[in-house]
Amino acid sequence: MADDGKQSVRLLCRPKQLSKGSDPGIHYWLIGSPFLPPLTIVSILRCINTVPSPTSPDLHKESNELLTLIPKGFQLIGALASGDDTDARAAIDAASQLRKFLYGGGTVEDLPLIGGVSDLDSGDFRFFVCESGNANSRIELVTSIIQEQHPEKFLWENGCMLSCELPIKLPVYYPLKNPTDVEKAYVKATGAVIAKLRDPRAVYMLEALSKTCPDQPPPAIVRGVQLDFHTDLSRTKPLAKGDEGFDASSLSCSYFTISNKAAFSIESADTIQVSVLFNSLGPSSASAAPIAEYIPVLEEARLVVVDIKLDVLCYSSRDLPLRHAVSRLIIPGLIDQLNTMQNFMLPSLLVQHPQLKPYHFSPPGILHPITVFYELSFGETEMKQVDFRKSLHFRLGLPYDRPLLRIANALDFSKLKNGGSASLQKRSALLRDVHIGIPSSGVNGGTLSLVQGSYEYHHYLQDGFNDSGWGCAYRSLQTIISWFRLQNYSSIEVPSHREIQQSLVEIGDKDPSFIGSREWIGAIELSFVLDKLLGVTCKVMNVRSGAELPEKCRELALHFETQSTPIMIGGGVLAYTLLGVDYNDATGDCAFLILDPHYTGTDDLKKVINGGWCGWKKAVDSKGKNFFLHDKFYNLLLPQRPNMV
């Protein structure tokens, strides 16, 4: 192994730390892109399928799962093993074999491979490179490792996405006397669709998906005769400047993209929509009448129509010619999804019609989108789906207490057509996250522990409903429920006062006369409603007086660090929402970030902040004034984050 300081491995993500004493073997796959500089690692995905020997990955299973999970435009570039430097060869060998499973032969085999090694004791990383991609070639140590400081900008400044949705009805005929032939018929029908995608008479229309820019270029047309299915994406050259016209052979993806972008992320990336137009008519100078051909079946047959919807998302350089984007990204992506659906549906095609549908996600910590196939015949809470999502969380390194890969969190690029956001994040006209940017608490040397995730600010007189003087706890509850809703733990709408009262009557906590009343509710009632409507459990903390609240700061800080949910504080007939604490463990000095539901003005952020309706409060301020009264009993409701995926 030679030392070569001329090369650099560039990391757009943080290397995954292996736990001390991890078994030796392949633990992670390294993902890069042909559109980025060589040896650039975009993401690191865990290897989760192994053969009986724990040090050997099951390459067949891994390839089947990674093929659809990783969008076209990203590719496997290496593996990460635990052990010493000699294990770098094993990592490169495993990556080389997996690459053959994923992409077959061809030019991809000549691309460099990275073998990463994590020391079993120290956890330090070392990277080795095999330049030719051939597992038998010499590998060299890379001494220069660059941790990119702005990875989103690095990836998306010169990148874009292509989206293609293609609904298909597959007609499958099979003889009644030999129903097992249905598999051959399905494979034949799939092959016919693939042939149409590659047909020289096929037409692909490309257009900008977002309608926010007033000067959108007209759509471009790519015809099947212009496609090149053998181009090496890593070696494509940008089109000559000024060679721009409406002929797709002279257009690149930059034709549809914005030059000066202010934000860099999956949600804000330029997205090109690709529509497939199957054209069976060719140009002809001769006149001809339409012909219908009748071919009778030789024996009794049955027709099964299989409805499938392909939905492909790809990453591309803005410099890539449109015809290469279609032939080397979109069409291979559609074919992979067709084959995935075929393998899934064939075993039970005659028993039931599996409802398999792809969804795209942008989970935190992963720079590129991922694509997941869900079987919609099963509910999201059924154990088969839960176990499947857990395996995805494990592969991607996601926490198990957040529903990051539920359908409610999927990207929806159809919203871009109306100038919206690709995210399915629910929107409303209410103020959100009003604590962001407020002045500091004034606690010297304190540790901040804040609510994590978005919430809506609910307060008196909203929605044209006069609850002044009695509805503060209702409003605090609405803010808490909005947090669960915006984190996609639930899809229910934020309940009205009457719906909250109705829930308490339905569980037997209140009499029917309670509905429509102006009766105050407290922490216990809030916990009942959260349990009924969301299935959320709560912890209730009792404090005998406001003077004791600072003693609870350590426990409250732990809540925000582990549960992250807003807290309701109730005392007498007043209720507030607690969004965080700033606590100095050494001095005991602390402050509470209070969101006050007693505000009666318009939803104007400046008025809210300048009026002190959201801000830091100390138990006793510099003027000796008590915010939390010493002679008042307080209940704190701490909603617990559901342990769900």
Name the token pair of 362: 């942008």
Three-state SS for 453-480 is: CCCECCCCCHHHCCCCCCCHHHHHHHHH
Q: Which two tokens stand for residue 472?
A: 């503060």
553 included as an active-site residue: no
With H, G, I as helix, E, B as strand and everything else as coil, classify residue 500.
helix
CA–CA dist 360, 376 (Å, integer): 15
Tracing tokens 């509805």 back to the chain, one arrives at 471
Of 145, 115, 117, the residue nearest 128 (C-alpha): 115
Q: Which of 472, 538, 553, 590 is catalytic?
A: 472
Structure tokens at 365: 């910590």
* Active site (annotated) includes residue 119: no
**Is 596 an active-site residue?**
yes
Instruction: For the beta carbon of residue 585, count every other beta carbon within 10 angstroms.
Output: 13
Please write down the HEC assignment for all residues of 142-168. EEEEEECCCHHHHHHCCEEEEEEEEEE
Number of CB atoms found within 10 A of residue 567's CB: 26
Residues in the chain: 645
Cβ contact 111:46 at 8 Å:
no
How far apart CA 103 and CA 287 sit, in angstroms, is 45
Picking from 380, 384, 452, the residue whose alpha carbon sits closest to that of residue 409 is 380
Per annotation, catalytic residue among 232, 336, 598, 603: 598
Distance CA 271, CA 273 (A): 7
CA distance 349 to 351: 6
Joined tokens for residue 123: 């956890």
Amino acid at position 291, single letter: I
Kindly give the pairing relationship between strand 75-82 and strand 113-118: parallel
CA dist 515 to 377, 501, 506, 593, Å? Answer: 39, 5, 11, 32
Give the active site residues: 472, 596, 598
